[in-house]
Amino acid sequence: MTAIKSLTLKNFRLYESLNASFSPLINIILGNNAQGKTSLLEAIHALALTKSHKTASDRELISHHQPFSTVKGTFANENKETVLEMILSKEGKKVRHNQIEYKRLSDYVGIVNIVMFAPEDLNLIKGGPSERRRFMDMEIGQLNRHYVYHLNQYKRLLKERNEQLKTMQRKRIKSDPLLDILSEQLVHYSVRIMRDRAGFIETLAQKVASIYQVLSNEPTAIEIHYNPSSKGDMLKALKNKQAYDLMTGSTSIGPHRDDCGFYYGDIPVMKVASQGQIRTLALSLKLAVVDMIKEHKKNAPIVLLDDVFSELDASRQKNLLNKFDKASQIFITSTSLDTMHLESLKDYKVFEVTAGKIEGVKTHGSTL
Ligand SMILES: Nc1ncnc2c1ncn2[C@@H]1O[C@H](COP(=O)(O)OP(=O)(O)OP(=O)(O)O)[C@@H](O)[C@H]1O
Ligand SMILES: [Mg+2]
């Protein structure tokens, strides 16, 4: 099991500077609204996965009016220590693993695995396709570093192809060998990305079906389908769309337009599900990812529970913690201890955060 032992923040969101040492078991981040609970979890997420769970913009993570931000964490896995460091600035993002800078993010993502449960998870079901692509990319990325590399190459080529389409539009050219080369290269990476997404969704679907049934006590089985934007020969499909793409100056098919969907049989979940069912499905998705990481990496991820725990009643809180079975280090945010049922917990550490500072730390139990 990998656990974060300590975290140092400089100019990250509302944290001007922070030093914290965590329990290898359960950490409770307590505080009123807007005091920095989510930001603390977001920092751990971003440090391990190089991205926030809620924004695509790294600039948002840097404190207002500051030129850069650093996040540094020391992790322990059995007796081995690992130090990760991320520096964000206007020039971009740098990551270091045990003081060595990694030029390729794909070699860095997945050294430490994280699964975050957050209110935004509901958007995986309620929101648009980009939310689901983000989810697929984040989770497949931490399972498979080749995926991150393929995706980054794809994004670069897509940008180039779109620029080429615009250039051709301006010059009123209908065909160009450079466009053909870019299309071929784009297909090369698309095939790999789509293959990995299909495989991920297949395993995810199996796990979610059984987790959802247990959590909901419903006999109905949830299905998840991967819906790629094109099937069959993609190079041919790109050719067929070329006139249209030249008109719009953008690429109309490819992994950047993929989606996946949730169904009860043939019926899309969103058409019939209650709020509670949507919440249960979102929870099932993340629990399935925890399982996949455990199986694939032979190591449990760090679990971050942002605002999803204190909403549950006592027995559901207990069931959720039992799911992680002491195999994972857990972070839980809450505005009050009153809504948390901690009776059955032996060891945990409570951090009180106020305005981007840790004002109080209390340890409960013996093994900390
Ligand atoms: N880049 C930034 N620079 C400075 N402050 C920021 C930045 N980004 C966000 N904040 C501030 O951080 C605060 C939000 O912190 P956070 O979301 O961590 O709170 P929280 O404790 O999780 O609150 P809640 O209980 O409402 O979820 C807000 O007041 C916001 O204005
Ligand atoms: Mg919050």
pLDDT tens string 130-167:
999 999 999 999 999 999 999 999 999 999 999 999 99
Q: Evaluate whether residue 229 is within a structural domain.
A: yes
On whether both 47 and 27 belong to a single domain, the answer is yes
d(CA 262, CA 146): 27
> Is pLDDT above 90 for 73?
yes
Q: Evaluate whether residue 122 is within a structural domain.
A: no
- Ion ligand 2: residues, CB within 5 A, are 37-38
Number of domains in the chain: 2
List residues near ligand 1 (CB under 6 A).
13-14, 31, 33-39, 60, 62-64, 335
Average pLDDT (20-33) is: 96
> Can you give the pLDDT at residue 366?
64
Q: Evaluate whether residue 314 is within a structural domain.
A: yes
Q: Of 297, 322, 349, which residue sits at a domain end? A: 297
Greater pLDDT, 280 or 220: 280
pLDDT band at residue 326, thresholds of 50, 70 and 90? confident
Q: Evaluate whether residue 341 is within a structural domain.
A: yes
CATH number of the domain bearing residue 199: 1.20.1050.90
On whether both 218 and 342 belong to a single domain, the answer is no
On whether both 173 and 259 belong to a single domain, the answer is yes
Using CA positions, which residue lies closest to atom 16 of ligand 1? 36
On whether both 229 and 239 belong to a single domain, the answer is yes
> Is pLDDT above 80 for 368?
no
On whether both 20 and 44 belong to a single domain, the answer is yes
Average pLDDT (228-249) is: 96
d(CA 345, CA 347): 6
What backbone torsions phi and psi does residue 284 show, to the nearest 5 degrees?
A: -60, -40
Going from the Cα of 238 to the center of ligand 2, the distance in angstroms, rounded, reads 43
> Can you give the pLDDT at residue 1?
86
The share of the chain scoring above pLDDT 90, in percent, equals 86
What does DSSP assign to residue 339? G
Using CA positions, which residue lies closest to atom 25 of ligand 1? 33
On whether both 161 and 277 belong to a single domain, the answer is yes
Average pLDDT (221-231) is: 95
Atom number in ligand 1 closest to CA 62: 1
Q: Of 297, 322, 354, which residue sits at a domain end? A: 297
CATH number of the domain bearing residue 57: 3.40.50.300
Average pLDDT (162-187) is: 97
pLDDT band at residue 171, thresholds of 50, 70 and 90? very high
Cβ neighbours for 294, distance < 8 A, ≥ 6 positions apart: 300, 301, 327
pTM of the model: 0.94
On whether both 234 and 262 belong to a single domain, the answer is yes
Using CA positions, which residue lies closest to atom 24 of ligand 1? 33
Q: Which ligand is nearest to the CA of 65?
A: 1
> Is pLDDT above 70 for 172?
yes
What backbone torsions phi and psi does residue 282 show, to the nearest 5 degrees?
A: -60, -45
Q: Evaluate whether residue 121 is within a structural domain.
A: no
d(CA 32, CA 325): 29
Q: Evaluate whether residue 232 is within a structural domain.
A: yes
Q: Domain of 143? A: 128-297
Pocket probe mutation, ligand 1, options 16, 38, 359, max atoms within 8 Å of Cβ: 38
What backbone torsions phi and psi does residue 274 show, to the nearest 5 degrees?
A: -85, 170
Q: How far is CA 256 from CA 146, 152, 204, 241, in A?
A: 17, 12, 20, 15
d(CA 270, CA 127): 10
Q: Where are the alpha helices (DSSP H) in the chain?
A: 37-49, 105-108, 123-126, 129-143, 145-171, 177-216, 234-240, 242-248, 269-272, 275-297, 314-324
Going from the Cα of 333 to the center of ligand 2, the distance in angstroms, rounded, reads 8
Q: Of 266, 297, 328, which residue sits at a domain end? A: 297
On whether both 147 and 245 belong to a single domain, the answer is yes
On whether both 146 and 293 belong to a single domain, the answer is yes
> Is pLDDT above 60 for 272?
yes
Using CA positions, which residue lies closest to atom 11 of ligand 1? 14
Q: Evaluate whether residue 293 is within a structural domain.
A: yes
> Can you give the pLDDT at residue 244?
97
Pick from 132, 141, 111: which is nearest to 285 by CA? 132
The share of the chain scoring above pLDDT 70, in percent, equals 99
On whether both 92 and 156 belong to a single domain, the answer is no
Going from the Cα of 30 to the center of ligand 1, the distance in angstroms, rounded, reads 14
Going from the Cα of 307 to the center of ligand 2, the distance in angstroms, rounded, reads 7
- Identify any residues that bridge with 28 across adjacent strands, giving them in sequence order: 332, 350
On whether both 73 and 210 belong to a single domain, the answer is no
Q: Evaluate whether residue 120 is within a structural domain.
A: no
Q: Which ligand is nearest to the CA of 55?
A: 1
On whether both 304 and 280 belong to a single domain, the answer is no
> Can you give the pLDDT at residue 108?
96
Going from the Cα of 205 to the center of ligand 2, the distance in angstroms, rounded, reads 29
> Is pLDDT above 60 for 221?
yes
pLDDT band at residue 26, thresholds of 50, 70 and 90? very high
Is 110 strand, coil or helix?
coil
pLDDT band at residue 325, thresholds of 50, 70 and 90? confident
> Is pLDDT above 90 for 312?
no
> Can you give the pLDDT at residue 220?
78
> Is pLDDT above 60 for 367?
no
